Chains A and B, each alone.
Chain A
Amino acid sequence: MILIYCELAENGHVADVSLELCTKGRSLANELGTQLAALVCGNGIADIEKQLYPFGVDKVFKADDRRLSPYRTLPHFAVLSKVIEENRPDIVLMGATCVGRDLAPRISSYLRCGLTADCTSLEIGSYEDKVTKKQYDKILYQIRPAFGGNIIATIVNPETRPQMATVREGVMKKEVVDANYKGTVTSLDANKYLRGEDECVKIIAREIEQQKINIKNSSIIVSGGYGMGSKENFEMLHQLAQALGGEVGATRAAVDAGFAEGDRQIGQTGVTVRPKLYIACGISGAVQHRAGMDQSGKIISINTDPEAPINAIADYTIIGDVCKVVPQLIACYNKNKK
């Protein structure tokens, strides 16, 4: 069994990242010839399974109790750890969100099993332990950039189960497999799972901020890196984005340098995007950044360095000074629009 721990968005729907994992989970389950299961913990989630079936979920576990919403670590830990112990899934996948990155390591510690954070790809394959010569078949390859993005590591958990991984939103594609897919639902009695001491952390206030920046759903992204040089120079990317009707993205280096807000960060530890057009300005193209944008339709790179790694995945490269090229692009666009 492959189990997806599903998160709920503020509107009570299953979060996109969880549906993306269901889609990936379905294809992995087909490859392994096993079932896909999903766990939802929340409050007032009567028909939640109907949102999950179309993604090919065979078995929905749900725990519906006021103590399970909003999310708190210990009540969700109590339910998820027991569901894993009772059903022994081979693979457990979770979103690499504030929730998943809080819950998954606690589960992995409790079950003493391996966990890989922020995977950019998941595959099934075999593994031979070089020391024991033991052969393992059909195990999960958890693939992620590592060490400053200079390498791509394939991680396996040969001996321990479940094999656990977290994946960021947008990395996997969300796809309905069959609108009429039918699974089964198991309602869990929360009282059997939750203990009094799980209540020891209390939420006394929550301020949910409307997301002001929506780069994920933008079809055109103008993105800047450390090579933009300053916050002032970054401003011209906003002008270009505004002209084209797009959004502004940034690399981690640009965010760390204070050129752009953290919400704009694209890459392995930021948002993953697939716009129609991605204009990379002053971005060298570390692998963590590319992991967040290499599925873009068309990529234009503007950089003074002809050897910048970003150029290797670009459709168009403009070797030149961004501060000159960007205003020229705005002028060209305005001229052609007329």
Chain B
Amino acid sequence: MYKIVVLIKQVPDTQNVGPDAMNADGTVNRQALPAIFNPEDLKALEMALQVKEQNPGTEITVLTMGPDRAAAIIRDSLSRGADKGVIISDMRFAGSDTLATSYALACAIKKIGHYDMVFGGRQAIDGDTAQVGPQVAEKLNLPQITYAEKLVSLKGDTITLTRRLDNGVETVEATLPVLVTVTASADDCRYPHAHRLLKYAKAAPEIWNADAIDPEMERLGLKGSPTKVKKIDNVVLAHKDAQQVEPTEAALNELVAGLMKDHIIG
């Protein structure tokens, strides 16, 4: 049996941005965006659940950094088969970039203590940076296996996984403990169990503040974040003088003939 930590994140659903997503001053109106379970983190949870299925007695702890309302994705994880959930939440984490985030998560994982595997999604849809996984791995001095697609086998302390790369698939073998980031083409997460849904509907996860994870305080939040936002620009479109073409046969014909004459199409 194994001990697994799965890193999860509640994210604004940036794929379904409504017209009220932006405030008039160009800041993001977070209230208007539905909060969802980051899709690749769900796939990471599934990989952990597959380990648990094959190795009864395995214990899965899901860990997230976020506001208290992130309890929703902890409860969701519990209903799908995770055993424990922890939120690290503190105003002192505010303004964290990926470096400060990974530091806080690494401190929390150390507090959780024993772990054979750390799983997480490759990236979160609100930033698409794919940085936190490898950064947590470095901080815990773990080897990292990124873009994992399939768990091939797990025997004793040897894990074998396939990785989905730009130009193919690689099968790698590593000795535990490892950190694994799971990519979009991995298996979808199983559905919640009905009885677990009921059981955990009101479950309150453990919430740890900054003091609880015993960090060097100057490495947290804004202070611990080397990247600064110099400015945010609203997307202003420089209007080209577009030529409007009516969707009529004559007009389209003229367009196509013109492009052919200019050798843009041959």
Task: Give A residues with C-beta under 8 Å from B.
Answer: 10, 70, 73-74, 97-98, 101-106, 108-110, 112-118, 127, 129, 141, 145-160, 200-209, 211, 220, 244-245, 253, 256, 262, 268-269, 276-277, 287, 297-298, 300-301, 309, 311-321, 324-325, 328-329, 331-333, 335-337
Q: Which residues of the partner chain A approach B15 to less than 8 Å between Cβ atoms?
A: 148, 253, 256
Would you call B232 an interface residue if the criterion is a C-beta within 8 Å of the partner chain's C-beta atoms? yes
Q: Does B253 contact A (CB under 8 A)?
A: yes
Q: How far is the CA of A10 from the CA of B170 in the complex (A)?
A: 14
Main secondary structure of the interface of B (DSSP, over half): mixed
Q: Are A112's CB and B226's CB within 8 A? A: yes
A123 to chain B, nearest CB (A): 11
- B255 CB contacts on chain A under 8 angstroms: 300, 316, 318, 332
The reply to whether B265 and A244 contact each other, CB–CB distance below 8 Å, is yes
A181 to B55, CA, bound (A): 60
Interface magnitude class on chain B: 35 or more
Residue of B nearest to A103 (CB): B134
Which single residue of chain A is at the shortest CB-CB distance from B125? Answer: A148
B201 contacts chain A at the CB level, 8 A cutoff: no
C-alpha spacing A202/B127, complex, angstroms: 30
- Taking the closest CB of chain B, its distance from the CB of A290, in whole angstroms, is 9
- 21 contacts across the A-B interface (CB closer than 8 A): A74-B143, A101-B146, A102-B134, A102-B146, A109-B138, A112-B226, A118-B128, A148-B14, A151-B235, A152-B235, A155-B230, A201-B145, A201-B174, A301-B242, A312-B238, A313-B237, A316-B244, A317-B244, A319-B247, A325-B252, A332-B255
Please determine whether A319 and B244 come into contact, CB atoms closer than 8 angstroms. Answer: yes
Instruction: Verify if B98 is at the interface (C-beta below 8 Å from A).
Output: yes
B134 and A201 form a contact (CB under 8 A): no
Q: Which residue of A lies closest to B250 (CB)?
A: A332
- Min CB distance A254 to B, Å, is 12
B168 CB within 8 Å of chain A? yes
Cβ of B129: which chain A residues have Cβ within 8 Å of it?
Answer: 105, 117-118
Bound: A114/B131 CA distance, A? 11
Interface string of B237-255 (1 = CB under 8 A from A): 1111011111101001101
Is B227 a contact partner of A317 (Cβ separation < 8 A)?
no
- The reply to whether B170 and A205 contact each other, CB–CB distance below 8 Å, is yes
Chain A's closest residue to B39 (CB) is A256
- Nearest first, the 8 closest Cβ-Cβ pairs linking A and B are A320-B247, A148-B14, A114-B226, A312-B237, A105-B131, A114-B227, A109-B135, A109-B138
B interface vs A, CB < 8 Å? 12, 14-15, 17, 21-22, 26, 28, 97-99, 102, 126-139, 143-147, 160, 165-175, 178, 184-185, 225-235, 237-240, 242-247, 249, 252-253, 255-257, 259-260, 264-266
A-B contact sample (12 more), CB < 8 A, given A102-B134, A337-B260 = A106-B134, A108-B131, A114-B226, A118-B129, A147-B14, A147-B28, A150-B22, A151-B233, A151-B234, A154-B233, A277-B265, A318-B255
- Kindly state the separation between the CA atoms of A321 and B134 in the bound complex, as whole angstroms: 45
CB-based contact A113/B259 at 8 Å? no
- Taking a contact as CB atoms closer than 8 A, the residue among B14, B173, B249 that contacts A202 in the complex is B173
Shortest Cβ distance from residue A255 to the other chain B in the assembled complex, whole angstroms: 10
Q: How far is the CA of A104 from the CA of B139 in the complex (A)?
A: 14
Contacting pair B138 A203 (CB below 8 A): no
User: Given A152-B235, A155-B227: A203 and B170 within 8 A (CB)?
Assistant: yes
* Residue on B nearest A129 in the bound complex, by CB: B228
User: With A109-B135, A147-B14, A202-B173 in contact, do A155 and B229 touch (Cβ < 8 Å)?
Assistant: yes
Q: Are B137's CB and A106's CB within 8 A? A: yes
* Contact between B228 and A147, CB atoms less than 8 A apart: no
Shortest A60–chain B CB gap in Å is: 24
**Known contacts A98-B166, A113-B226, A277-B265; A314/B242 CB under 8 A:** yes
Contacts of B99 in A (CB 8 A): 108-109, 112-115
Given contacts A201-B173, A208-B168, A332-B253, contact A154 B229 (CB under 8 A): yes
